[in-house]
Amino acid sequence: MKASRTGQSEGGIALSRIAAVRRREADRFAANRPRTRERVGAGIAGFFGGVPMHWMLDWPTPFPILVEKASGATITDVDGIVLADFCLGDTGSMFGHSPPPVARAIRRQAARGLTYMLPSEDALFLGDLLTARFGLPSWQIATTATDANRFALRVARAVTGRPKILVFNGCYHGSVDETFVRIVGGQPVNRPGLAGEFRHFPDTTRIVEFNDLPALDRELAHGDVAAVITEPVLTNSCMVLPEPGFHAGLRKLTKKHGTLLLIDETHTISTGPGGYTRRYRLDPDLFVLGKPVAGGVPASVWGMSASTARRYAAYLKTKEPGYSGMGTTLSANPLQFAAMRATLEEVMTEENYAHMERLAARLEAGIAAAIGRHGLQWHVARVGARVEFICAPGPLRTGGEAEAAHAPALEAAIHVALVNRGCLIAPFHNMMLVSPATKAAQVDRLVRAFDEVAGGLAA
């Protein structure tokens, strides 16, 4: 895999050409949105940086899109522009905006109280639903995937009595401090760019490249790693697929060294109703799923295998009394129960996933054909309903390769150009999600737009 960036080009396109396309497309974006420009163009009053959350500045558009409404796989902005939404809230709305069963459940629950730190009748169904779906027998509910990961890692350290975790280079598991480690120049370091960090995270964390089983064996042999935390596919680093035998090797090595395996399915739930875990028969000790699990209502779940749950129960009998450091006040509220039950029972269905898979395959084929047609050395990868184009040759094998494959200026120019052609994709990399509400015509529109933009860049 060749690096995508040189001093003068990205993805084989000259930087001067990329800059010209970006300027032209940014001007067009702004000219089409007089109302948005007037209301948010100079920043929203009262917010630091002009936005309620700083990630909203990561969009490559000259100013954020001001949303009037979103429904299904469509976003309408205050200028009346309608976009086919393939970002879907960076997976939070993977099953479409306000899926009707979830909207109904929210309406029903809204009249019955929103948070009371007690179970509701919906909760009586949830534990069994989660076990039937994902296979692990003991669950807890939290509010973000970050928190679910944090709590599951605490359990891993508690039951193993070991201080460290192991991550794969290029990973992202939310804002969990100890996962913020990268390999730079062959050495583990704090992830570049962190604000206000207070620790040298390599003290808490071992790191190796994804797909590198000998390195994993070597690092686990220190005997101080409580858990390996990983996505089944590295989705936060372009898209790095596991090589044949990687997951079997990962499970074998974690068992050999007495290390727990935490699978974070927050993005790879795009694979199927039971996630990558069920599709490929993974066997995690700890399991995390956040973002879309309640159809867009903030909620997450973390599960323990029978043996992990047994060990944790035994540990709790021995620990000194006092606060465990887990749990947040609004977690496991009745709105979450209602929305999650509706999502699991009525939205994350085999039928909906079949639709997602079919259209995602159509999108993947269309993008791959466009790349080939324009003679670009780019590639496309997919895990179920999640498709990603990468402006470098592939497949990628490691997070390090994925980092080198990023083409920030080129990707930004493409993203704005796609918005101008009616298609929104994720701002951080080139992720395109297909929901149960996505239409074939929307997929075809994105393929046409990509073809036109890629052709213009390559010409």
Ligand X SMILES: Cc1ncc(COP(=O)(O)O)c(C=O)c1O
Q: Which residues bind ligand X (CB under 6 A)?
A: 144-146, 149, 172-174, 231, 236, 264, 266-267, 290-291
CA–CA distance, 133 with 130 (Å, rounded to integer): 5
**Residue 324 per-residue DSSP state:** -
Q: Are 400 and 170 in contact (CB under 8 A)?
A: yes
The nearest distance, CB 329 to ligand X, in angstroms, is 17
Q: In the chain, how long is the greatest CA-to-CA distance?
A: 68
Nearer to ligand X, 171 or 417 (CB): 171
CA–CA distance, 121 with 239 (Å, rounded to integer): 40
Tell me the two tokens of residue 414.
């493409």
Nearer to ligand X, 89 or 456 (CB): 89
Peptide bond into 188 cis (omega under 30): no
Going by C-alpha positions, the residue among 255, 254, 275 that lies closest to residue 264 is 275
**Residue 97 per-residue DSSP state:** B
Token look-up 């990329």 returns: 18
The nearest distance, CB 173 to ligand X, in angstroms, is 4
The nearest distance, CB 402 to ligand X, in angstroms, is 14
Q: List residues bridging with 288 in a β-sheet.
A: 264, 302
Going by C-alpha positions, the residue among 299, 267, 262, 297 that lies closest to residue 141 is 299
Torsional class of 11: left (φ above 0), alpha (ψ -120 to 50), beta (otherwise): left
Q: Within a 10 A sphere around the Cβ of 113, how many other Cβ atoms? A: 12
Number of DSSP helices (H) and strands (E) in the chain, helices first: 14, 18
Of all residues in this chain, which one has the CB nearest to ligand X in the complex?
174
Nearer to ligand X, 234 or 454 (CB): 234
Strand-strand pairing, 423-424 and 82-85: parallel
Q: Are 416 and 83 in contact (CB under 8 A)?
A: no
The nearest distance, CB 171 to ligand X, in angstroms, is 8
The nearest distance, CB 298 to ligand X, in angstroms, is 8
The nearest distance, CB 415 to ligand X, in angstroms, is 18
The nearest distance, CB 443 to ligand X, in angstroms, is 23
Nearer to ligand X, 53 or 118 (CB): 53
Nearer to ligand X, 84 or 297 (CB): 297
Nearer to ligand X, 57 or 306 (CB): 57
Nearer to ligand X, 36 or 146 (CB): 146
Nearer to ligand X, 11 or 303 (CB): 303
Q: Are 380 and 367 in contact (CB under 8 A)?
A: yes
The nearest distance, CB 265 to ligand X, in angstroms, is 8
Nearer to ligand X, 171 or 220 (CB): 171
**Total residue length of the chain:** 459
The nearest distance, CB 122 to ligand X, in angstroms, is 21
